[in-house]
Structure 1
Amino acid sequence: MKEKTKIFVLLFCGILFSYILFKSYHFDDIFQIFFYVILGGIGLYIFYNAIFDNVKKYKETKKLESYKLTIIGTFLVLLNLEIFSYYETKINSKSILKTEYGNIIADFKTDKNYIIKIGSWASKKYFYGTYSINDSVIILDKKCKNRDEISDRLLIRKYKNEIEKSENLKYKTYLIGIDKNGNEITNSELIVIEDNRK
């Protein structure tokens, strides 16, 4: 395989891998693992062999451009590691409130970022943003696009009595969607399964 062809294939696999990795943090797709294996396998094979070929070529020519493939491969590896690290840090940072109900999971982080997951397995969508808390109201920076299941304003409430809490005995708090006038939105209750507020 000629060097130009190797560069093209490496760039194609690396950039497409980055795109799929980025998309995987916004949409679940059961086929993405196959793309990781195929694209990652081809890209790493070319990159691994290029390192040895480039070293050999440099010894013969003493030109830095001999490391062209190695530099491109290193850049693509670092790019994918950066994408992975960025989103994993967001996902694994400490939660102050975590809620769940049906196919909706809302995770409010201590750094004022949130992650909202909506949908069933293999078809989940992820929404990222920032929030603020005003008294007992959580205000999201934006409404989840094209999703009516969750409001951009959520009121923190405690279950009033044992009857109201009967279906969720483990939990004492829930979030209920409200509009700008403070009116409750029906069918928008999110049960708080983790509460780390002081």
Structure 2
Amino acid sequence: MKKYWVKERNQIIGLLVLIGLGSFLTYQWAQLKYSTFMLKTILLNALALVGIGFWIWSTIKGLSNYKRTRLKSHLIAPFIGLFFILLIVGINESIEAEFDKPTLIRAYYDGDYNGVHIDFKTDGTYIVDAHAIGLSEFKYGEYKQDGNRMILNGEEKDRSLESDLLEIRDIAEGEGDQLEGAYIFQIDSKGEELDQAIRFRIVEDNRK
């Protein structure tokens, strides 16, 4: 009887470890939609490999015990582990799908040690990627296009965006200290550029 209770206790402990690890990885993976850090990503992938290894071990052991005892409780851990794996894969696919949407306009600001990308998608959404060495933070929103103007939805934006109104304008050679080309300007309701606001240089333009 004592041996039986020890096995039951170990099974419960293993199940709790699997649930705890799966929940932690699922939450951390979901946060990758909003920020990534190189070291954190490496650690998460390493921890995911440990989790998969633990799941494989618990699955082999659970199936072996099930064949011997025919108790369905031994199949709980394998199915819970599979659930978390599929959930994390689904979250990862969802995040990648956001970034893989076709780009309408992509603009960039280079701040030496940091920078900001704005990726306006063809479906009316945009992604702001504010990055420094090894670190990226992402903000998401929607916009409407009116000619050369983009009207942002006014929801949470990166701190580099001071206005909901953006306009594409050309900078000629020799005009100011910026390279010649098309830029996204931040403007007010009168069409005037905001004082000292960041200009984003357009690096991809798929408008027809």
Separation in structure 2 between the aligned mates of residue 13 and residue 35 of structure 1, nearest angstrom: 13
Would the aligned equivalents of 1:22 and 1:83 in 2 still touch at CA under 8 Å?
Answer: yes
Aligned pair partner of 2:198 in 155, 169, 188: 188
Would the aligned equivalents of 2:141 and 2:156 in 1 still touch at CA under 8 Å?
Answer: no
Stretches of structure 1 that go unaligned for 5 or more consecutive residues are none
- Percent sequence identity is 25
Aligned pair partner of 1:39 in 33, 47, 61: 47
SS in 2 for 1:28: strand
Separation in structure 2 between the aligned mates of residue 167 and residue 55 of structure 1, nearest angstrom: 66
**TM-score in terms of structure 2 length:** 0.83
Q: Deviations over 1:52-90 (max 9, x none)?
A: 122222222334332100111011001111111001111
Report the Cα offset of residue 180 of structure 1: 3.3
**TM-score in terms of structure 1 length:** 0.87
Q: Determine whether 1:173 maps to 2:185.
A: no
Q: Deviations over 1:3-59 (max 9, x none)?
A: 111111112222211222222231232331343144213311221012212222222
Q: Deviations over 1:144-177 (max 9, x none)?
A: 4571444322111223x332388424xx311101
Would the aligned equivalents of 2:187 and 2:193 in 1 still touch at CA under 8 Å?
Answer: yes
Stretches of structure 2 that go unaligned for 5 or more consecutive residues are 1-8
Would the aligned equivalents of 2:145 and 2:151 in 1 still touch at CA under 8 Å?
Answer: yes
- Counterparts in 2 of 1:40-189, with a 5 A limit? 40-102=48-110, 103-145=115-157, 147-159=159-171, 161-164=172-175, 167-169=178-180, 172-186=181-195, 187-189=197-199
Matched to 1:2, the amino acid is N
Q: How many residues align?
A: 195
